[in-house]
Structure 1
Amino acid sequence: MVSIVITTKNAEEFIVDCIKSVINSNYIKAGGNFEIILVDNYSADKTVEIAKSLGAKTFLKGPERSAQRNYGVEQSAGEIVGILDADMILSETVISECVEIFENNENIKALYIPEKIFGKGFFNKVRNFERSFYNTTVIDGLRFFRREDFLKIGGFDTSLYAAEDWDLDRRMKTAGGGDSNY
């Protein structure tokens, strides 16, 4: 089973596209076993209602993203966990590609997923241009994990207010021996 954990706060503008990108993946269309877990930080909009209507298991948790992500993984049943932000859209093949890598490489504990930033604003264009110069670095962040390995290192450090993804990357590298995909 693959568990997709999505963290939200007032994300009704994005959540439909995010969840539908999971549902429309070739892994799900081929009958892959999955669940979508949404952990919301007490939104004032319709994020939770929308997610429920699309079949997501929903939970309320704060005070911030790291605690939400850890809680979502704790609630998950999948051996493989993907962690998404509400404004992310997966390509059709990313889940099946990740599952295949994990199935064929039992020593890999986590995977980077290259990200592209879409949007018409200047800042979005600059960030996407910047990302074109690197791949599988701590800036990309780990997105798919073996659940047991994520829990073994304690997940995200909830005492950090910034750079929690870099910290997780560092601790996962230490636990996994330092490979580019752990």
Structure 2
Amino acid sequence: MNADAIRVSFVMPVLNEENYVVAAVQSILAQDGLDEREILLVLGASTDRTDEVVAGLAEAHPEIRVLRNPRNAISQSMNIGIADARFPVVVRVDAHSMLPAGYAVTAVRSLRAAGAVNLGGRMHAEGRTPYEAAVAWGYNSPGGLGGAVYHTGGEAGPAESAYLGVFDRAAVLAIGGFDETLSRGEDWDLNRRLMARGGVVWFEPALDVVYRPRSSVRALAKQFHASGRWRGEIIRRLGGRVPLRYFVPPALLVALALGAVMVLAGAIAGGVVGNAVALAGVLPFLVYPAWVLFTALRADVAPGVRLRLLGVLPTMHLSWGAGCLFGILIPSRGHNAFAGR
């Protein structure tokens, strides 16, 4: 067997993705320069036409194999796919993403050159409607999802986590795969454990993957609440040993809640002291909206997108913050709780 051969197993968890899975699979089929490949679509218990769409894809393309995960969690789907994969490198693909040309070849070569056990590029969100464009801006900006290099971009080098992931299959199996008790944040946790074993997780800016964001307020709030909920679960399990930026949204929510209490208490107390307390309580309700307005005005987007940012950013921050607080205080019950779909 040629040691330089590029042999890749693509693994994609799929649940209720009838509108996105075809484009995602087509982006895999368009990957060239590979010596061998297979595409493993791990189906959850979808309630839309996803299974029918995937069946058509599998019939048309013999390199597609369909696996089942009736329990739905992404962590479990990834473990099923990795366990069944035939090749030494596993490329994770999100059904909402589209791999650029040359993604797999570039990723595998970079993985080998860096001596890494996992590698990823930038999650480049792109919207097709004004609302999706506003959500995409939030994904790609420190003002939305924070400053992680896989959202905002940066230089090649070691990273705390990787978007999607191009894995050394043996290294992932050696640590027991993804933690199946996590429904979100499973990728960050996996990379944490890989690094604890001495592995290198690498960011490769040459990999720029298009991601389709949520298209409605309800879907966005549900997604971010779920992400926050499971991040809070991880914070609770690890005793707070996570990057400080994860504490910003819950701290914002606490500040707003405390401010409301101070306004009420000040109004009841009255007098100079009461008025001072009430005034201090008003500050979070002035500072945060002013920051959102300032951030939206500075965004280099169309006026209609900028207007929607005034609602998108608070939806992201407050939904994530509320979920995180609940996750810290209340253990999540079951891997499918708060899945965000």
TM-score normalised per structure 1: 0.86
What does residue 81 of structure 1 align with? 90
What does residue 90 of structure 1 align with? 99
What does residue 52 of structure 1 align with? 55
Tell whether the 8 Å contact from 1:37 to 1:58 is kept in structure 2 after alignment. Answer: yes
1:13 positional shift: 0.4
What does residue 141 of structure 2 align with? 129
Larger Rg: 2
CA distance in 1, matches of 2:140, 2:113: 31
Count of aligned pairs: 177
| Aligned with residue 71 of structure 1, among 80, 99, 119 | 80
Tell whether the 8 Å contact from 2:117 to 2:201 is kept in structure 1 after alignment. Answer: no
What does residue 39 of structure 2 align with? 36
| Aligned with residue 174 of structure 1, among 180, 187, 196 | 196
After alignment, is 130-139 or 33-42 more displaced? 130-139
Secondary structure of the structure 2 residue equivalent to 1:115: strand
| Aligned with residue 108 of structure 1, among 116, 119, 142 | 116
- Summarize the Cα distance change of 1:2–1:180 in structure 2 as closer, same or farther, 3 Å threshold: closer
Amino acid of the structure 2 residue aligned with 1:22: I
Unaligned runs of 5+ in 2: 1-6, 143-150, 204-341
Higher share in helix: 2
TM-score normalised per structure 2: 0.48
- Choose between structure 1 and 2 for higher RCO, CA contacts under 8 A separated by at least 6 residues: 1
- Summarize the Cα distance change of 1:102–1:163 in structure 2 as closer, same or farther, 3 Å threshold: closer
CA distance in 2, matches of 1:113, 1:87: 15
Secondary structure of the structure 2 residue equivalent to 1:10: coil
CA RMSD of aligned residues (A): 2.2
The C-alpha deviation readout for 1:38-63, integer Å capped at 9, x for no partner, is 01111122323323333321111023
1:141 positional shift: 3.4
Unaligned runs of 5+ in 1: none
The C-alpha deviation readout for 1:124-169, integer Å capped at 9, x for no partner, is 2211233226576446435100111111111110112332111111
Tell whether the 8 Å contact from 1:14 to 1:86 is kept in structure 2 after alignment. Answer: yes
| Aligned with residue 125 of structure 2, among 117, 128, 133 | 117
CA distance in 1, matches of 2:202, 2:159: 10
